[in-house]
Chains A and B, each alone.
Chain A
């Protein structure tokens, strides 16, 4: 079962053409001509239905702009950026929750840096064989391969260790910079947008790829939430209870790779890991239950994304940096609220019942 999910997952990302072409062909026919004329990569026929979704979204935000008079909402690139930001605000803390509580916060950083190598490969292929796909797609592929490698190494050595993570991180980044410098002659694209993220360079294609990633991540977590929770909280007991723990670990790291690449467009390689970690850390200060923590972390992340994008627009600053600063400010606030909560909640400690041998018989 899990094997099948993973195979599908890999297939869905490595070969979106095969998975989506049916939908793309049937729905793509009725698309506006302008859409098809603007883009020319082989991916576009596949992503056509999503371009339609983006169009609708753009119309909706434009309508909000009219009603509210907010200047920031008037630009098309902003419409896409906000949608991407909203998706990041859901999927980053969703996956981050399963990482942070296993002390795996660093893995997001390692994967982001290997994804940079993927970006470089994508730019390289586009320049040499005119592949015409967004570099974020090659980044997903490379990051997922790196994620699997990290996981397999940890299975063999029985530990996620920060040394191997640091090696993967620097290897990825070194590979990326090397490829880009070799390729520099034929390259017009600045790599700044990949390192630091950029609101205005979110293309329709990369926004559509993000929507695909978002759908995969949310549905995989929705289906496997029980198993992921058990594995995160108590790996040994999860193993005893018959859960194939290794498979779930592989799923989590691959989903992490997807989140990282998805969030990279706005956050950039260097800051992307913050979205996996900071909202989750804030939520665990105030939340009591796991479900509550998940919900709160998503709310905090969305707040950070929306406030951050808004502030960065009016201040003329890089969105990624502002979003992270807002997230950290929210985290500090959450710590304070958490402290107040604990102080207020301490007086009411319920009486602990005795172990009830008689009703013990009821439990089996």
Chain B
């Protein structure tokens, strides 16, 4: 409680130079960790099949995501995008096949420091009284466990807030924010976790167009620093503009390869049908 108030004042007092210094330092540490780790796939699915009932939602899924990739999973509604994401994160256990996360069985994986997650939150309105800063603080919980946040932890929290342009909103109640602002807060939480991989489930739903562009630029700059980005996306335009690799899903994988090839292929037509193909060209 007392730590909360003392650092709250710090938000206003911080200056830009501070942030830039910290940037260089932390970027350096990221590089060393990257090189020290082997290049095992971050996520590996082999012959994965899963269904909530007897009918499988996704099947014959085999793919591997290497460290540092920027991968987008696209597909029409009900194509199993979110299910696939849950399988990758170990929130669901495959009926058949195996899913591994950082080399461990995804379902048993519990090193929360390595994965940051942004859900499609904008639509969910919670009545819970909680400030933006308290939400972003949760990103540090995997690091502190049962302990309290150190001043370094709070610094990471405040930097994440500044990064998403929400520094001024730190002490606002999250229920008072617009959908876009709320989503920024959740992105800041994922940033504050300092994860090696960011998983985002349709993160820009309900976010204003201007922020969407800036948001994808942010993802790209994070990816440039070696963070693996996994994007579940409905907006095909955003995907083709930003992701390096596309997985097109509709129950099974229709396409998996570099974005340029995806644009030229007929995978869209097969997965979405003709109407969506047009929409994809337009976007």
Contact = CB atoms under 8 A, between A and B. Distances in A.
29 contacts: A226-B141, A226-B144, A227-B146, A229-B138, A230-B138, A233-B138, A237-B117, A237-B189, A240-B91, A240-B112, A241-B115, A243-B142, A288-B129, A289-B171, A290-B131, A291-B4, A293-B129, A293-B130, A350-B169, A351-B168, A353-B165, A354-B214, A355-B165, A355-B214, A359-B16, A359-B19, A360-B218, A360-B221, A362-B20
The size bracket of the interface on B is: 35 or more
B61 to A, nearest CB: 20
B112 A242 contact: yes
A226 B141 CA distance: 7
B22 A362 contact: yes
Contacts of B211: 355
Given A360-B163, A361-B221, A287 B129 contact: yes
Contacts of B181: 352
Interface residues of A, number: 44
Nearest to A241: B112
Interface in A289-317: 289-293, 295
Interface stretch (B40-48, B65-73, B154-162, B267-275): B154-162
A363 interface: yes
Contacts of A347: none
Interface in B1-53: 1, 4, 16, 19-20, 22-23, 26-27, 30
Interface stretch (B191-199, B237-245, B246-254, B256-264): B191-199
A357 B129 contact: no
Contacts of B146: 223-224, 226-227
B135 interface: yes
A227 B243 CA distance: 34
Of B115, B171, B173, B215, most buried by chain A (CB within 10 Å of CB) is B173
Of B111, B129, B159, B162, most buried by chain A (CB within 10 Å of CB) is B129
Contacts of A356: 162-165, 218
Contact of B130 (A236, A290, A352, A358): A290
A339 interface: no
Given A229-B138, A352-B165, A288 B117 contact: no
A284 B126 CA distance: 11
Nearest to B194: A364
Interface in B148-180: 156, 159-160, 162-169, 171-173
B227 interface: yes
Interface in B127-141: 127-131, 133-135, 138, 141
Contacts of A239: 91
Of A238, A288, A363, most buried by chain B (CB within 10 Å of CB) is A363
B266 interface: no
A101 interface: yes
Nearest to B109: A242
Interface string A30-51: 0000000000000000000000
Given A353-B168, A357-B218, A364-B30, A289 B134 contact: yes
B20 A359 contact: yes
A354 B110 contact: no
A95 interface: no
B205 interface: no
Given A223-B146, A240-B89, A240-B117, A362 B138 contact: no
B127 to A, nearest CB: 7
Contact of A363 (B115, B160, B217): B160
Contact of A355 (B30, B129, B168, B218): B218
